[in-house]
Amino acid sequence: MRTSSRAGSVEKNFWKIACATTCVLLFFSSCMMGAMHKRSTHKKPAPAKVEHERAPETGARKEIIRTESKPITLAATPKAKASSTLLEDGRREFAQENFEAAERSFQEAINIDPANGIAYYYLAKTKYAQGQFEQASGVLDKAEELLAGSKEWMEAISILREMISHAAN
């Protein structure tokens, strides 16, 4: 049985259109999946919540930094990611007042990524909590140098410096 040339061309066109439509649908679905993946994995974390109070006895300012479940920074390199993970571990230990473990985590974060100013800040805060005021002040100097571009962190550093100064006297 022979088909007319017109019926054959319609059938060819049908398959061409079907293939083209399938390709377009696959392309758009992969684009959507990529966009959904990018949106779910690259969320910016909320900044650390720094609250300030005055001590009732002395009137000195003190800081309270609330622990958060979200990481502080979004790391770009493997070294920065590892440092950020250790920073979060240290913050959890610090919140539980396990200062020795927190200090180890912050120090290891600094060893991996010496440009992690937040790790220096928390190491200084840990030294302060342990009563090592002179060391805390020295570490805080490095944190200040690395975090100089952030108004929020400079304020937190200023408050911790004031707390160290007050406790050392």
Both 29 and 80 in a single domain? no
Q: How many domains does the chain have?
A: 2
65 and 123 together in one domain: yes
Q: Which domain holds residue 95?
A: 49-168
pLDDT tens track for 78-106: 888 888 899 999 999 999 999 999 999 99
- Separation between Cα atoms, residue 77 and residue 97, nearest integer Å: 30
- Does residue 37 sit in the same domain as residue 54? no
DSSP code at position 68: -
The values of phi and psi at residue 63, to 5°, are -110, 155
Residues 102 and 61 in one domain: yes
Q: What's residue 126's pLDDT?
A: 95
- pLDDT digit string, tens, across residues 6-41: 556 666 666 666 555 554 445 555 555 554 444 444
Q: Do residues 35 and 63 both lie within one domain?
A: no
The CATH number of whichever domain residue 100 belongs to comes to 1.25.40.10
